[in-house]
Structure 1
Amino acid sequence: MQALVVTAKGKLELKEVEKPVISDGEILVQVEYVALNPTDWKHRDSVSPAGVILGCDFCGTIVESKSSRPKGQRVAGWVHGGKFPDQGSFAQYIRVAGDRVFTATDLKPESAATFGIGYFTAAMALFNDQKLPYPPAAQEGWFFVGGGSSSVGLFVTQLARIVGYKVIATASPHSFDIVKAHGANRVVDYHDPKSALDEIKKVTDDGIVAGLECIGDLDGVQLAVDSFGPKGGPLTQIIPPPKEVRPRPEVPLDHRILLYTAQGYEFEFIPGQPKMPAKPEDLKWFTDFCERSPEFIEKHDIKGNPVDLRQGLENINQGLDEMKAGKVSGKKLVYKIA
């Protein structure tokens, strides 16, 4: 099969490689669509060793199964791309555990491909890290989203509204409409942090009680911390906060998640740094949420990211370069593979 393989730091090559062989509990998926994430170009440039297949998000059809899932079923999900020589979504076929995907027969396949890293990170923040109950239980107050036009931001805005929060998000003005269309009650321009903070405090009546910061830069994290009301609350981060952030005791900076831990195994994330330990509790949550997802998505009319549809494995590297250069906002680059 053909796959995009890391050949050196910052370099990808379309190669002919062996089709993956599945084990008990796994499925082999013929990949039809893949979606790009910032983690893909970061792995390409600084994390992945040579010889591994890149890519996380995918949608496709099961062609072999050693799990309870039947052949011919359309599924979607994500894998730890850029880590293994026989598992990455930027390929014609992918092997994955049958309980770590969700049935995607009721979604357009190009949209289903966007329900990967972004969707599951947003859900992990709310339902695993912040321990929120699933609907119909309802929350009160305001939820802060830093980076509202990002893939994670667009998903968490919808999920926060579903569980009862009012949502205020930061974004560039050109993305205001798309963030509002995904459920934000208010969107604020982050470029002037002082003006943004004043607006947030006024709109929410100093009532922010929880949040997710998606970008990780100093101004953005500081704005998130300062935006909380006097009682504080959980602020989940998907990127380690800069050391220069001025903390508040009522807004602890220890709510850090990394979606890859949901796969349930120990792994080295950054070369040379201590390994991330296996977290069985994250895997348990992940498999449960995969099972919930088809009904959850349909019942709550969760929208996938807006799609910029393109063609071919051979063109993905260009898309990664566009993302790295900051040329992609408010949309998801999706590539048709088959």
Structure 2
Amino acid sequence: MRAVAVQTFRAEPELVQLPKPEPGPGEVLVKIDYAALNPFDWQVADGLLDGRVPHVFPLVLGLDFAGRVDVVGPGENRFVVGDAVYGQAGRPPVGTGTYAEYVTMPHDTTIAGVPDGLALRAAAALPTAGMTALEILRTTTPLDPGATMLVVGAAGGVGSALTQLAAARDIRVVAAVRGDERERMRALGAAVSVDTTEQSVREACTGGVDAVVDLVSVDAESFGAYAGLLRSGGTALSTRGAAAPGQGVNFQLTASGALLDALAAAALAGEVHVPVEAEYPLEKAPEALARNRSGGARGKTLFVP
């Protein structure tokens, strides 16, 4: 099969030919229709998890996918051939990724059915960003309708999904972004959009907020400046490990099939949609990864094997 992989850490991604995988007991082989790019993909290729989990080379990149079950392995299985599925292929060993024509997945891990009415293209953009946003929202609740949530870095994939999910629950979102994103963030449900290159977040949140979700700060000082806007009893959360003890919560996603089911239901109900910025054939993935390293993405990039 065709796949995009690196031969060693920090090598250039390239299109390669690999044997078509076969599903083991309790697994399914998925024919991938769409794979989605996450910054985590090139970070893994650079050795982010080196020494922490086992890897295989050539290391096929990619986590998020949507497609159809092509083969069902022996033993118990909740899927049948032809089922539309989507998920996150993040199990060890690292290197059996989704920038490929096929991927194998245990039926009881982070894979779920795509309900009728939800397009595979839309589903492929959801898993990592959507599950992260949904679990963040659960972590910061209970928030009453009308409560205010500050989302720092709201223009990215997680921020866009979180803004939509929070707005669907009548939570007032203050979206902190770089640049003039007022129209786009308003369309996603934000009550206020703050261009941090022109205005301080503190000026926009003079009355304080009930929750802070910081998707960008990498140090305790920057995170603490946002956490200081909390009203009594509020929750401050960092996805970058920036919260010092007593400052807030350092969030880590616990992905699951059940979370994917809840996310698909939310998407079907119109509560969340991760916008697709670009779509490329698989052989263009190395170029797209290079562009993603420079930052500034305003939606998902999808690859079509």
TM-score when normalising by structure 2 = 0.86
Provide the C-alpha distance between the structure 1 equivalents of 2:121 and 2:39, rounded to a whole number of angstroms: 18
Q: 1:191 to 1:217 in 2, by over 3 A?
A: farther
Structure 1 residue 192: Cα displacement? 5.3
Q: 1:258 to 1:317 in 2, by over 3 A?
A: farther
Structure 1 residue 27: Cα displacement? 1.6
Alignment check: 8 A CA contact 1:146 1:220 kept:
no
Match of 1:54 in 2: 61
What is the correspondence of 1:178-327 to structure 2 with a 5 Å cutoff?
178-191=184-197, 195-201=200-206, 205-206=207-208, 208-218=209-219, 221-229=223-231, 231-241=232-242, 249=246, 252-253=247-248, 255-259=249-253, 261-262=254-255, 286-311=256-281, 313-326=282-295
Alignment check: 8 A CA contact 1:43 1:82 kept:
no
Provide the C-alpha distance between the structure 2 equivalents of 1:241 and 1:14, rounded to a whole number of angstroms: 36
Q: 1:101 to 1:138 in 2, by over 3 A?
A: farther
Secondary structure of the residue aligned to 1:21 is coil
Match of 1:335 in 2: 303
Structure 1 residue 182: Cα displacement? 0.9
Provide the C-alpha distance between the structure 2 equivalents of 1:92 and 1:199, rounded to a whole number of angstroms: 47
Q: 1:242 to 1:192 in 2, by over 3 A?
A: farther
Q: 1:177 to 1:329 in 2, by over 3 A?
A: farther
Alignment check: 8 A CA contact 1:81 1:88 kept:
no
Q: Larger relative contact order (C-alpha < 8 A, sep ≥ 6)?
A: 2
Q: 1:216 to 1:21 in 2, by over 3 A?
A: farther
Alignment check: 8 A CA contact 1:79 1:89 kept:
yes
Secondary structure of the residue aligned to 2:154 is coil
Q: 1:97 to 1:163 in 2, by over 3 A?
A: farther
Alignment check: 8 A CA contact 2:45 2:59 kept:
no
Q: 1:220 to 1:118 in 2, by over 3 A?
A: farther
Secondary structure of the residue aligned to 1:303 is coil
Structure 1 residue 70: Cα displacement? 1.9
| Unaligned stretches of 5+ residues in structure 2 | none
Q: 1:304 to 1:329 in 2, by over 3 A?
A: same
For 1:294, give the aligned amino acid.
A
| Unaligned stretches of 5+ residues in structure 1 | 263-285
Alignment check: 8 A CA contact 1:210 1:235 kept:
yes
Provide the C-alpha distance between the structure 1 equivalents of 2:92 and 2:8, rounded to a whole number of angstroms: 12
Cα root mean square deviation, aligned: 2.5
Secondary structure of the residue aligned to 2:82 is coil
Match for residue 157 of structure 2 among 128, 151, 155: 151
Of Structure 1 and Structure 2, the greater helix share is in 1
Match of 2:14 in 1: 13
Q: 1:188 to 1:215 in 2, by over 3 A?
A: same
Provide the C-alpha distance between the structure 1 equivalents of 2:60 and 2:102, rounded to a whole number of angstroms: 11
* 1:165 maps to 2:165: no
Structure 1 residue 333: Cα displacement? 1.2
Structure 1 residue 83: Cα displacement? 4.6
Q: 1:220 to 1:331 in 2, by over 3 A?
A: farther
Q: 1:198 to 1:289 in 2, by over 3 A?
A: same
For 1:335, give the aligned amino acid.
F
- Cα deviation code 1:9-34 (max 9, x no counterpart): 22223222222222333221111111
Alignment check: 8 A CA contact 2:276 2:300 kept:
yes
Structure 1 residue 63: Cα displacement? 0.6
Structure 1 residue 220: Cα displacement? 5.2
Alignment check: 8 A CA contact 1:40 1:81 kept:
no
Match of 1:98 in 2: 107
Provide the C-alpha distance between the structure 2 equivalents of 1:291 and 1:187, rounded to a whole number of angstroms: 30
Match for residue 94 of structure 2 among 70, 84, 90: 84
For 1:316, give the aligned amino acid.
A
Provide the C-alpha distance between the structure 2 equivalents of 1:145 and 1:296, rounded to a whole number of angstroms: 20
Q: 1:258 to 1:20 in 2, by over 3 A?
A: farther
Percent identity of the aligned residues? 23
Secondary structure of the residue aligned to 1:233 is strand
For 2:289, give the aligned amino acid.
L
